[in-house]
Amino acid sequence: AHKGRVEEMDRWKDPYVKDTEARTLADVLPGADVFLGLSAAGVLKPELLHHMAPKPLILALANPNPEIMPEAARAARPDAMICTGRSDFPNQVNNVLCFPYIFRGALDCGASAINEEMKMAAVRAIAALAREEPSDVAARAYSGETPIFGPEFLIPSPFDPRLILRIAPAVAKAACETGVATRPITDFAAYIDKLNRFVFRSGLVMKPVFSMAKTSSAKRVILLIELAGRRGVTTEAARTMVRTDNTVIAALALKRGDADAMVCGLEGRFERHLRNVTLIIGPRAGIRDRDLSTLSMLISQRGIIFLTDTHVSVDPTAEEIAEMTVLAAEEIQRFGIEPKAALLSHSDFGSRDSPSAVKMRQAAAILARIAPDLQCDGEMHADSALSEQLRQRVYPHSRLKGEANLLVFPNLDSANITLTALRTMMDALHVGPILLGTDSPAHILTPSVTSRGVVNMTALAVVEAAHKAQAIVDLG
């Protein structure tokens, strides 16, 4: 587009007219910092890139094939920053990065227009997101790789789940500030929390826990990452353990009152961490070492389900099953949920008399005696537990009403297999394992836990510590 050209010109090209002698791409590229192409495949030849300025930005956006393929551009100019319109290359330039979230922010505040300030807010939010610290949330959006800002990561992926959390609030805020919002948002923290639930499915069910954690007096939760360098018990053997085992360090600090809760387990075997927690912290009053158990929560599109014991009790007795059910029910109440327990078996309300069926039947009888207010029944099939209609046909006098939300298993094999199968098949979010029965709040994570999972368990530990402190005050 140059002065004097008349062919193929229109009002859209007129603003770009230049008074120049340059007539070809080869004429204009020398010294250029940026190439922006929306033309045709292959028009930008690799040899032309040698004449561009240092660290050029190449936006080859023709689709389906760009003006130059990224590998060809990289070979010609290793210092180049390269963007295309394709999702199979880094730095995809696509309006899907912003349009859905601009509209979301505009609709949520009732914007009467989408002005330039709102568009700029979206651009700045995208730019800020690209510079954020790496996280597991980002890694899931980038095929397990953790993106770091640089030539290969200038623009977030359109599949990054954090886009809605950054762009929509920024757009809504700009709309409010420029006077086009007919329903101005006054509490942006609450608005972001609402959006957050679309990204983190644990947001809703964890909300009561986070609320209690925030309002609790300050609690000290020891995380393994904070423990490097801690030392300090007297015997030589203990010194050796402290130098080599962070779980021991955390447990000792908790036992001595230097902390209120601990979260461990990101590395190493679950059993080793459990052994140290049991040895140093021990069970709370009235509970034996063998009665420690775990509770796992699965959150899926279908709803929320709790499972016990998924990680500790290999083959619990009827008494131990009753104890773990009571502990699990107490924990579920922290989430603001009424527990409804089903004791599972291959037998359905007395249809079989195998040892495991008899054990679960006996556990149900014990629970009826020690926890009469708990909605609980068994032994039963899993489908009977999850379908009141089916359960009523099999056993109309069941004490369990509605759909069970706590599934109690006869042994570790059945519980853990069910947990991992449901988690995979339902694409469910796992919160836990929550360790039950310890004298002080202590939780052992699994190595696959995400940073969000660590936050969830830390908040839960804070609430448990606050409950323990309040119980001590009440007693005394």
Superfamily the domain 204-475 falls into: Isopropylmalate Dehydrogenase (3.40.718.10)
Element (H, E) at 118: helix 116-130
pLDDT tens, residue order, the chain (476 aa): 788 888 888 888 888 888 888 888 888 899 999 999 888 898 999 999 999 999 999 999 988 899 999 999 999 999 999 999 887 788 888 888 888 899 999 999 999 999 999 999 999 999 998 888 765 555 555 554 567 788 888 888 777 777 888 999 999 999 999 999 999 999 998 888 778 765 555 555 666 666 666 666 555 565 543 333 343 444 454 455 555 567 777 777 777 777 778 888 777 788 888 887 887 888 887 777 567 889 998 887 777 889 998 998 889 999 999 999 999 998 888 777 788 999 999 888 888 889 999 999 999 999 999 998 888 988 889 888 888 888 888 788 888 888 889 999 999 999 999 998 988 888 787 888 888 888 888 888 887 777 777 878 888 888 778 777 766 656 55
Write out the two tokens for 287.
Answer: 């509970």
The whole-angstrom separation of Cα 200 and Cα 275 is 32
Q: Among the CATH numbers 3.40.50.720, 1.10.10.10, 3.40.120.10, 3.40.190.80, which is that of 95-199?
A: 3.40.50.720
The whole-angstrom separation of Cα 199 and Cα 191 is 13
The answer to whether 167 and 160 are in contact (CB under 8 A) is no
Q: Is 361 exposed, middle or buried (0-12, 13-18, 19+ CB in 10 A)?
A: buried
Residue boundaries of the structural domains of the chain = 14-84, 95-199, 204-475
The answer to whether 12 and 26 are in contact (CB under 8 A) is no
Q: Whose CA is closest to 382, among 353, 417, 355?
A: 417
Output the pTM of the full model.
0.56
Mapped onto helix, strand or coil, the DSSP state of residue 158 is coil
The dihedrals phi and psi of 108, each to the nearest 5 degrees, come to -65, -25
The whole-angstrom separation of Cα 180 and Cα 184 is 9
The answer to whether 343 and 408 are in contact (CB under 8 A) is yes
Element (H, E) at 262: strand 261-264
Q: How far apart are the first and last CA of the chain?
A: 85
The answer to whether 361 and 377 are in contact (CB under 8 A) is no
Assess whether the region 95-199 and the region 204-475 belong to the same CATH fold: no
The whole-angstrom separation of Cα 50 and Cα 76 is 7
Residues 6+ apart with CB under 8 A from 125: 166, 167, 170, 171
